[in-house]
Structure formats: structure tokens, C-alpha cells
Amino acid sequence: MDSFLTPKQKKILDFISRFAESHGYSPSQLEIAQHFGFKSLGTVQHYLVQLGNQGYLQKSWNARRGTRVGNTRTSFELPLLGRVAAGRPIEAIETRDTVEVPSFMISHGVTGHFVLQVQGDSMIEEGILEGDYVVFRKQVTAQNGQTVVALINNEATIKKYFKRKDKIELHPANDAYKPIIVDHGEDFRIEGVLAGVIRKIS
């Protein structure tokens, strides 16, 4: 099939494939744009539509990271555990809803993941918007720069995690917000690391 691709199309397809293999989820349009130096997400969308029309990619209609290579498509229903802040920490609000999650976001089995709905706008530069559904892989540790859901004194928040010597910082992806510095003595724990983002369009 590669003979029908332009050189740029093949580079983009190869990047998506390599990214998905190394991260466990597909790159966002912003990540593709940054990698190739595109100034507009419209350029990325143009290439993704071309690759999709030629059968090289599939994209779930509601998934920001839904682009995937190949033709196999399955999904899982996961419980929506609650709502969580992408702003100031708030107490998670439990729900009984479920969310359909593409299988490529599930890397450690269905029971090793959970879904939360976003409130707030502190992660918009990472493409995480209010109302989005975020899929997390359950784990209690994270590497610097990973997006996590963490509890601070039992209040949940989504932020980028950084550990600086003996200090923990939770960074927003919005210049309107300041990083959260976790003080000594505060009850802090990581609940999961970001595996994907789903956006439902009404």
C-alpha cells in the first residue's frame, strides 16, 4: 500500500505508528503538528483525512487520540468513576454512567483502567477540555512530564507530574494557572497515568 502514499503522508503514518507503539496510544493532532513543524492543526487534519480515505487510518468520531493504524476496531465499556478537576483540586463526584473506550487505550486489561470526566480548563494546551472523558491507567508512580490524576488531601486533580529532589510539583497546561506545590505533610498520591482522551460531540 505504501506505493500510493506521498513522501509526506508516509512520514506522518510512520510517526503515528512509532508513537503508538512506544506510548500505548496515538499522538494528538497537536503532537503531530509540533513534530512536523506545522503551524496549523488544519494541515494535520488534511493529512489525517487523506490517510483515512485511503484506508491507512481509522479515527473514532469522538476520540481526540482516536487515530489508529489498520482496520481492526474494538472498544470496551468502562465505568465513569466520577468528575475531576482540571483546575483547582475538587472532590471527585461519583456517577453510574459508562463510557465506550477504544481498545488501543487499554494496555493493561480493562480492570487496570478507569475513566473520569473533566471539569475546568487548566489542561487545555494538552488538548484536555472541560467535559472531556479521560482514560487513566491505574498506577501509583509516574515519570516527570506525564499527565496524572492525583489526590491531594482527598481532592482530585489532573496535572503534569514533576518531582524536583524532595519536592513534588503538579503543572497545568494553561498559563492562567500556577503549578501546585505539594507541601510536606500533605496527603498526596497518584491514582493513574493518562492513557487517552475522549470527546463526545452532542
**SS3 labels along 139-195:** CCCCCCCCEEEEEECCEEEEEEEEEECCEEEEECCCCCCCCEEECCCCCEEEEEEEE
Sign of the dihedral defined by the CA atoms of residues 28, 29, 30, 34, in that order: positive
Q: Is 26 a catalytic residue?
A: no
Catalytic residue among 159, 160, 178, 200: 159
Interatomic CA distance for residues 91 and 83, integer angstroms: 8
Q: How far apart are CA 80 and CA 97, in angstroms?
A: 5
Is 122 a known active-site residue? yes
Return the C-alpha cell found at 109: 486489561
Catalytic residue among 40, 122, 165, 200: 122
Catalytically annotated residues: 122, 159
